Structure 1
Amino acid sequence: MKSIRIAGLVLLAGLLLPVAAFADARREQPSSPPPGIAVASAHELATEAGMKMLREGGNAFDAAVATSAALSVVEPISSGLGGGGFFLLHDAKTGKDVFIDAREIAPAAAKPEEYLLENGEFNRDRAENGPWAAGIPGLPAAFVHLADKYGKLPLQTTLAPAIKLARDGFPVYGRLVRGYTARREVMERYPGTRAVFLAGGAPLEEGDNFRQPDLAQTLELLAAKGFDGFYRGVVADKLLAGVKAEGGRWTAQELAAYRVREREPISFQYRDWRIVTAPPPSSGGVALAQMLQILEGWDLDSLEPAQRVHLVVESMRRAFRDRTFYLGDPDFVKVPMALLTSADYAAGLRATIHPHKATPSDMLSGEPTPLEDDETTHFSVIDADGNRVAATQTVNLLFGSGLIPPGTGVLLNNEMDDFALKPGTPNAFGVMGYDANAPQPGKRMLSSMTPTFMESADRIAVLGTPGGTRIITMVLLGVLGFDDGLDAQPVAALPRYHHQWMPDRIDAETGAFTPEVAKALKAMGHNLELPGDEAAGGRGSSHVWGNMQTLLWNRKANTLSGGSDPRNPVGRAMVELRQGKAAAAIAK
């Protein structure tokens, strides 16, 4: 069938339209501070580490370092010092929002041809496992940057909870055991990884005490020496030696040259909300701006459930199509940001949506023509002055590359798979890319991490989640949930569905749709993948995804509440109030 290339026409038309202005980032700030402090994270020990900093006089940025570092110890399945992350900050005193980009970068040796087999096919094992899968880590540099520029406490204080957890251990939980079982073959290829995860002679079991003395020592050096404690000196030497021993090629110069980037967040208006979110190299903020501004053309509250889902899915489809072709590291490629995030461009995309029929994804192909959920973690912080942090960090897939360079305790990421290593070839999350996201020395791979703030006259929300490409659509559904008037915990628990342009289908959690809604969506022409919902046409196996962590400050009611995803039994949201203040606190 000849492609109609709707999106290409809309993009061309959008160039002729004026770009909508963003809301002023320094608009009037709240006249009174929050009634207390709050942290929500994917592990209660990390939440407690952040709360400890707030109780001891630190601010939200100190709490972010402590929470992030603790997650790096207790959630190696999801993130760690060998990975990277994005930190969205709000300074209550100045009203300024800033985005800290601590994404990993490509080593110079990681050229696309290194990820091909002799027959020219894509070498997926090299892209996902071992030293060639790993980019230069960014998370340790983020700790140093946050402490030096935004925090009140020294790294020796903010890293102390993580050091103690690594040195003394913590109880192993079920998700850690299941993740190791899934990745065991890869993890046990490498002597440094075996020394950590098989230290007792056998794989960890639920309830075991998991100690990581090498990681504790690495954290201690980072606390004592800052940047040089990780990117130069003893730790750097061990990282380089471990990568080289497994056939990889990092250099001391690349490690020492790593720097975080401060970037201007994306901000835009959705109904009564000002949304502040992640810019490239995240794809999430651009997609979120597109989806919400498309949806603003309808009164979603008045629609029948199937009709609402149809329109939300069509907005997802169009945003992910643009993600494939236009987004990459803005230090290396020109991203048409003003156009892609403008209300006029969104209106053009909206006009291509049939209100009662699905748009086949191949009708949105544009140019160039394509060739023929436990991973990552998020936390949210609000302090007593109104400073706030939304942070998402990752090592990519479960346990990243599986490689721990001996003597470091640092589990390296496998973020190189987030590049378009072979144009038009889907990565582990099923999304494709082209030149905009091709690897280059020092370039940051495209990400889906979408830490987000929402601000209205009465309410401020902080939210985010892990989940690969599904992060973007989960945050979208979270924003719509807050707009519907839900509190933090119900938003964290919302059922989830997802569409990413290609493959052309709706994925949904178990129970996300009733049989009636599923039937109506199919009648509109949607392809559905519904594991667990046999009555709705699914395959009969249960599946859920994501790990959302949310906070909500209701300024009108003077309440502060937190939500931690019920899909994750070890997560926790904690709220503590100043004496005499009322709040609705959700704590698991």
Structure 2
Amino acid sequence: MNKKRVLFRSFVLGLAIELGLAFAPGIALAKGPLDPLQKAMVAEDINPEAATGRVQHKVVHAAHFMVTSANPLASEAGLAMLKQGGNAVDALIAAQWVLNLVEPQSSGLGGGAFIVSYDARQHRVRAFDGRETAPAAARSDRFMRGHKAMPFWDAVNSGRSVGTPGVLRALALLHNQQGHLPWKALFAPAIQLAEEGFEVSPRLHALLEQNTALRQQPAAAAYFYQPDGHAWPVGHRLRNPALAQVLRKIAEQGPDAFYTGPIAQDIVDAIAHHPVPGDMTLADLAGYRAVERAPVCTPYKSYELCGMPPPSSGPLAVMQMLKILSHTPIDHYPVDSLMAVHYFAEAGKLAYADRDFYVADPDFVDVPVHAMLDAKYLALRAGLIRADRSIGVAPPGDPAHMLARRGRDDSPEIPSTTHIVVVDAQSNVVSMTSTIESAFGSKIFVDGFLLNNQLTDFSLSNVDAQGKPVANRVEPLKRPRSSMSPMIVLKDGKPFMAIGSPGGSAIINFVAKTLRGVLDRGLDIQQAIDLPNRGSRNRFTELEKNTDLHGLAAGLRAMGHDVREVDFPSGLQGVVFTPQGLEGGADPRREGEAVGG
């Protein structure tokens, strides 16, 4: 790569911002006119799940092992595996199946996952891709009506949105590589809870009560709602014998019991019989494979940041943000000050701009990961940030001479996700984000679990306004881009921190905020998670509603930021290694809990 050309092009892009010019074909910069597709890109960002209040957590300390997940029942299931002699992988798997039951809006058998692990035996970070795939029959105009993208929620609540689920294959691959306890043992907590029932939590009740589309699916309505149409009340004991039966089959027969046979047929039939049918086949399910990929890692100060590579854009964007911010004076200011929030938002704009153009399934498009993390490139990108005013809408850079060939994406990406972190006594670490996409996925309920609507993470349009192909367009057997950001931080080659969050495309900002809180500000993990959420996805500058950041809104607007105060229901889960042992933290914005021993 000609580094001088890369730096020059990035400099010209920065100059174009100041002049309000459109530099490259198809890109109107901050002060220029927006084409229709760009107007769609700056539509109001949507949270995957509604906010349902806060609970207070104190940092949790443990001497040997730790599990932190989005629900206490799931955390306890993982802890039980560790106490039975299992390792971090065993605990993770047991916790996920309980989350499928008690947090059905976010993850489960019908969805996918990205997993990053530290394998203590091999002293290395590994990454496992369980992202859903488009059916073999999928075409790039899947979500188009004529020459326009179809309304987003029409795409979500349909059979067209369902991708081939991958979380089960990914966890089976992970268990085969790193697990310890027998596969069958990992299903026992979820099966017992499904048969005996669990109490509907305040958050689940609130999300069910707010959801209209779920009520319109007869199978889902029969399980989640009372005969009068209201959600089951808080404390109601909800049993799921159908899911218990499915989990028992998978426990005894392995993943093939899900991907072939009667369960697979039920999935295909439910999608085909939806009023807006999809085209998944038995062959799509039988042919699905999880993939182990090389993690993306980069040095950062005295640490090494590692995370899931593409098709996830999350860790790559987080790494860009942190390395860009290292060239700014952000740490000279209090963490929740006007200037700290300004710099953080501006770095986010630059990272999201690159993400929107360049990241997609690496089996289909060239993703310039190394160029995007090049130190000189990021230093020049940081040079675009001004201390006295906002960039506005940032342009992408051109780290690998691809800008003229790539189209602008219009994927809203609002996946409803969950995150789990587990550390065991041998210092094995797993950090997994799993998802069924928007809250309650496609709303299609099969054999006790919900199917994803993951294909709406593809760009709804296959080309941009200039006719250039979008990297993240729908293609047969392709995996949609994601912002899920499971990450592990190393120090001196050993695990130091594991982190991740749900939250759609805002995950990147949630994780970056928390990493900076621990690595750069010296906060404990709970303090870092508790910090008010903030940042920009290269649309608005977003501040978490009803927090101390409210007082910054006027100052940010005076600097040219288009400020929105919004609910930001992140679900951060994290663990930090300290000289005194492990520290665990769970997000107060959801129902999670860190437990250890």
Question: CA 1:207/1:342 → structure 2, altered by over 3 Å: closer, same or farther?
Answer: same
- Amino acid paired to 1:134: V
Shift of 1:114: 3.3
Q: Is the 8 A contact 2:161 2:456 kept in 1?
A: yes
Match of 2:504 among 462, 468, 471: 468
- Amino acid paired to 1:317: K
Shift of 1:288: 1.2
Q: Is the 8 A contact 1:171 1:207 kept in 2?
A: yes
Matches within 5 A, 1:101-250: 101-117=129-145, 120-184=148-212, 186-198=213-225, 202=229, 203-246=231-274, 247-250=277-280
CA RMSD, Structure 1 to Structure 2 (Å): 2.5
- Amino acid paired to 1:312: F
For 1:263, the equivalent position in structure 2 comes to 293
Shift of 1:201: 6.4
Q: Is the 8 A contact 1:7 1:318 kept in 2?
A: no
- Amino acid paired to 2:461: K
Moved more, 466-475 or 518-527: 518-527
Match of 1:336 among 368, 376, 387: 368
Shift of 1:488: 1.7
TM-score by length of 1: 0.85
2:303 pairs with 1:281: no
For 1:412, the equivalent position in structure 2 comes to 451
Query: 1-side partners of 2:472 and 2:23: how far apart?
Result: 25
Q: Is the 8 A contact 1:548 1:564 kept in 2?
A: yes
Query: 1-side partners of 2:395 and 2:427: how far apart?
Result: 46
Match of 1:395 among 436, 439, 453: 436
Q: Secondary structure at the match of 1:453?
A: strand
Query: 2-side partners of 1:490 and 1:144: how far apart?
Result: 34
Query: 2-side partners of 1:374 and 1:259: how far apart?
Result: 22
For 2:595, the equivalent position in structure 1 comes to 574
Shift of 1:146: 2.1
| Identical-residue share of aligned pairs (%) | 34
Query: 1-side partners of 2:167 and 2:523: how far apart?
Result: 33
- Amino acid paired to 2:167: L
Moved more, 362-371 or 322-331: 362-371
For 1:518, the equivalent position in structure 2 comes to 553
Shift of 1:567: 1.4
Question: CA 1:516/1:198 → structure 2, altered by over 3 Å: closer, same or farther?
Answer: closer
Deviation by residue 1:383-442 (Cα, 9 ceiling, x = unmatched) = 00000011100111110000013xx1120001111001214789xxxxxx9621111111
2:345 pairs with 1:318: no
Query: 2-side partners of 1:354 and 1:124: how far apart?
Result: 35
TM-score by length of 2: 0.83
Query: 2-side partners of 1:347 and 1:362: how far apart?
Result: 16
Question: CA 1:549/1:371 → structure 2, altered by over 3 Å: closer, same or farther?
Answer: closer
2:570 pairs with 1:551: no
Q: Is the 8 A contact 2:92 2:430 kept in 1?
A: yes
Shift of 1:165: 1.6
Query: 2-side partners of 1:299 and 1:92: how far apart?
Result: 37
Q: Secondary structure at the match of 2:184?
A: helix
Query: 2-side partners of 1:146 and 1:452: how far apart?
Result: 16
Q: Is the 8 A contact 1:90 1:387 kept in 2?
A: yes
For 1:308, the equivalent position in structure 2 comes to 340
Shift of 1:274: 1.2
Question: CA 1:455/1:333 → structure 2, altered by over 3 Å: closer, same or farther?
Answer: same
Q: Is the 8 A contact 2:118 2:495 kept in 1?
A: no
- Amino acid paired to 1:337: V
Question: CA 1:92/1:118 → structure 2, altered by over 3 Å: closer, same or farther?
Answer: same
Shift of 1:187: 1.7
For 2:89, the equivalent position in structure 1 comes to 61
Query: 1-side partners of 2:479 and 2:316: how far apart?
Result: 17
- Amino acid paired to 1:79: S
Deviation by residue 1:487-508 (Cα, 9 ceiling, x = unmatched) = 121122111012111x2x1011
Q: Is the 8 A contact 2:310 2:362 kept in 1?
A: yes
Question: CA 1:434/1:382 → structure 2, altered by over 3 Å: closer, same or farther?
Answer: farther
Q: Is the 8 A contact 2:107 2:417 kept in 1?
A: yes
Shift of 1:463: 0.8
Query: 2-side partners of 1:283 and 1:436: how far apart?
Result: 12
Q: Secondary structure at the match of 1:280?
A: coil
Query: 2-side partners of 1:288 and 1:152: how far apart?
Result: 32
- Amino acid paired to 2:542: D
Q: Secondary structure at the match of 2:355?
A: helix
- Amino acid paired to 1:189: Q
Shift of 1:126: 3.9
- Amino acid paired to 2:114: F
Question: CA 1:239/1:148 → structure 2, altered by over 3 Å: closer, same or farther?
Answer: same
Moved more, 440-449 or 232-241: 232-241
Q: Is the 8 A contact 1:4 1:363 kept in 2?
A: no
Q: Is the 8 A contact 1:140 1:222 kept in 2?
A: no
Matches within 5 A, 1:29-108: 35-108=63-136
Q: Secondary structure at the match of 2:449?
A: coil
For 1:582, the equivalent position in structure 2 comes to none
For 2:483, the equivalent position in structure 1 comes to 448
Shift of 1:371: 9.0
Q: Is the 8 A contact 2:409 2:459 kept in 1?
A: no
Query: 2-side partners of 1:487 and 1:441: how far apart?
Result: 45
Query: 1-side partners of 2:169 and 2:354: how far apart?
Result: 31
Q: Secondary structure at the match of 1:100?
A: strand
Question: CA 1:369/1:62 → structure 2, altered by over 3 Å: closer, same or farther?
Answer: closer
Question: CA 1:216/1:201 → structure 2, altered by over 3 Å: closer, same or farther?
Answer: farther
Query: 2-side partners of 1:6 and 1:311: how far apart?
Result: 28
Shift of 1:130: 2.6
Match of 2:531 among 483, 494, 506: 494
2:591 pairs with 1:563: no
- Amino acid paired to 2:583: S
Shift of 1:525: 1.4
**Structure 1 portions without partners, runs of 5+:** 9-33, 427-432, 532-542, 577-588
Query: 2-side partners of 1:423 and 1:240: how far apart?
Result: 26
2:417 pairs with 1:376: yes
Question: CA 1:334/1:544 → structure 2, altered by over 3 Å: closer, same or farther?
Answer: closer
Match of 2:513 among 448, 468, 477: 477
- Amino acid paired to 1:286: L
Question: CA 1:123/1:110 → structure 2, altered by over 3 Å: closer, same or farther?
Answer: farther
